[in-house]
Amino acid sequence: MLYVIHFLEGIIERLGVIARYSLLALVLLVASNVLLRYFFSISPVPLQEFEWHLISPIALLGISYALKHRADVRVDVFYDRFSLKGRALVDLIGALMTIAIGAAIAWLGLSYTEQSWQLMEGSPDPGGLPYRYLLKAFIPLGFAALALQGVADCLRALLVLSGKPVDGDLEREVTP
């Protein structure tokens, strides 16, 4: 089970790298657009649209990456008082819900994305970017990644519930 957990979280880590580099590119692009606008009175539409294009991988790939690193918002009023197995049970329930929601939205997003690809959807704005369909591909990909992280969390919780020893990496979410 440890191998599967590490394999799945390795995928999430790689997707997180894409999200991080997209964020860096977004910061540089916004700064460039501001400089162009205020110092040279130039405001290229494609560059402005590209800002929105970069938000898609940041948000949709960053969700599973944030969940893996426990950077999500949690309310631990009762959770911290539970025993190790009690916390693992809560984590298991949360992971199962994450799998269900991630898989459902990924599945529902497939037809939406497929339609956009068939139309080769682009920007409706004159001078805009022609590859809007590529952005929409991040919807099923991002939520499938969320479901994969849910599977890793589910397996981790099952390990704890079964009383198997967990290495230091796995104790990150279940230690008091």
Give me the tens of pLDDT residue by residue for the chain, a chain 176 residues long. Answer: 889 999 999 999 999 999 999 999 999 999 999 999 999 999 888 888 898 889 999 999 999 999 999 887 777 788 888 888 998 999 999 999 999 999 999 999 999 999 988 988 888 877 778 888 888 999 999 999 999 999 999 999 999 999 886 665 444 444 44
Determine the pLDDT at residue 43: 86
Q: Where are the domains of the chain?
A: 2-173
Determine the pLDDT at residue 130: 84
Determine the pLDDT at residue 167: 60
Written as one string, the DSSP assignment of 34-65 is HHHHHHH----HHHHHHHHHHHHHHHHHHHHH
Q: Report which secondary-structure segment, H or E, holds 30.
A: helix 2-40
Determine the pLDDT at residue 26: 97
Determine the pLDDT at residue 165: 62
Determine the pLDDT at residue 132: 85
Determine the pLDDT at residue 175: 43
- How many contiguous H segments (helices) and E segments (strands) does the chain have? 5, 0
Rg (CA), the chain: 20
Determine the pLDDT at residue 148: 97
Determine the pLDDT at residue 74: 74
| Chain position carrying tokens 């099952």 | 158
* Model confidence, pTM: 0.85
Cα distances (angstroms) measured from residue 72 to each of 36, 75, 83: 36, 10, 22
Distance CA 125, CA 104 (A): 32
